[in-house]
Structure 1
Amino acid sequence: MEILINYLQQFGNLNSQQIELIKSKVTSRKTTKEEFYHEAGKIPNEIIFLTEGIMRVCYYNHKGDEITKYFLSENNFLADINSYNQEIPSTEYIQAITNCEYFVLSRQAMKELSATIIQWDQIIAKITAKGLADKVNRISPMMTENAKERYENFLNSFPSANKIPLSYVASYLGITQSSLSRIRKDITL
């Protein structure tokens, strides 16, 4: 639980009473490897903070191809923020790549924390802004890089890449699995 509290405190100061309130609202959960934490078509009613493992966010395009949008590793919040905020069905799936452990904040818990902790909404806004900036910083370079550069940068920015199936990495990078195999072979030579 301390890892979550330490993360939150990077975005705002919390006193001991507020920390205890947060701890009382958080539950702990696990999802096993390859299990879907969330499925498209459902309205997300919670936000999670991943403490162990790797998850991926994916969707199906108009051709029915599964596309990996991004990966998330430990010490990050995860939610389909648009669907969560608007309370509309999500178009994305969230799947555990490895066995995962995480803390859960339900929609009700978030409302109660917002009503009780004065700076809660500011803390969440800062975390959301950081998440969006990280997303832009991840996507923008991929628009101008070739496949080899995208893969090398992915390896540098995602230390746990060796735990992710190649088909998911290829989908994320926007290349075929055979192209990724060639790139990996060239890099290891």
Structure 2
Amino acid sequence: MDELIAYILKLGQVDEQGIAHIREHASYMELPKDGYFSKVAHIPQQVGFILEGVIRGYYYNAAGEQVTRCFIAENSLVADYIHFEAGTRSSEYLQACTPCRLIAFEKKDWEALSHLVEGWDAIKHKMVHLCMYQKSRKGPVISQDATTRYREFMENYPTLIQRVPLSYIASYLGVTQQSLSRIRRNMQ
């Protein structure tokens, strides 16, 4: 919980009573590897903060292939926030790439904090903005060659290479797993 409180305090001021309310409305959650935080066609029910592990956001394209859109790791908010807030069905999956430990807020608890914690709405806005930025496909520029995309991935996500299956990385980069293996061999 201390990690979440530190994250929140970087984004705004919260007094001791506010921190107590945050602690009171949060719960711990574990996701096994390949477990889902959110699924397509389901209404997202919670917002999470990753203490340990990696979650990927993905969807299926028109050809039925999985496309990894983002990776979300420790000390980050994770949510399908647009659908969570609107109470509508999700259009993507949020799946654990590794075993994950999270702090989670059910919708009623997340909303209650707006009434209980002074300045919460401004802090929440900053957290959601960071979450949305991280989930936006800010990754590889498809017009770059695959080797350049992989190098940039290694620079942007140095800790993920050993933690995430190559098939997910290949999907994120827009290449086949065989192409990614060849790129990795040529770079050695």
Aligned mates of 1:137, 1:179 — CA distance in 2: 21
CA RMSD of aligned residues (A): 1.5
Q: Within the alignment, does 1:15 sit opposite 2:15 as a pair?
A: yes
* Shift in CA distance, 135/98, structure 1 to aligned 2, threshold 3 Å: closer
Q: How many residues are matched?
A: 187
Aligned mates of 1:160, 1:154 — CA distance in 2: 9
Structure 1, unaligned runs of 5 or more = none
Aligned mates of 1:59, 1:137 — CA distance in 2: 12
Deviations 1:64-97 (A, max 9, x none): 1111111111010001111112111001111111
Q: Which residue of 2 aligns with 1:115?
A: 115
Aligned mates of 2:136, 2:89 — CA distance in 1: 24
Q: Within the alignment, does 1:74 sit opposite 2:74 as a pair?
A: yes
Q: Within the alignment, does 1:48 sit opposite 2:48 as a pair?
A: yes
Normalised to the residue count of structure 2, the TM-score between the two structures is 0.93
Q: Is the 8 A contact 2:38 2:80 kept in 1?
A: no
Normalised to the residue count of structure 1, the TM-score between the two structures is 0.93
Q: Within the alignment, does 1:147 sit opposite 2:150 as a pair?
A: no
Q: Partner letter of residue 62 of structure 1?
A: A
Structure 2, unaligned runs of 5 or more = none
Deviations 1:33-83 (A, max 9, x none): 122222110000110000001111111112211111111110100011111
Question: Sequence identity, in percent?
Answer: 33
Structure with higher helix content: 1
* Shift in CA distance, 137/43, structure 1 to aligned 2, threshold 3 Å: closer
Matched residue of 2:69: which SS?
strand
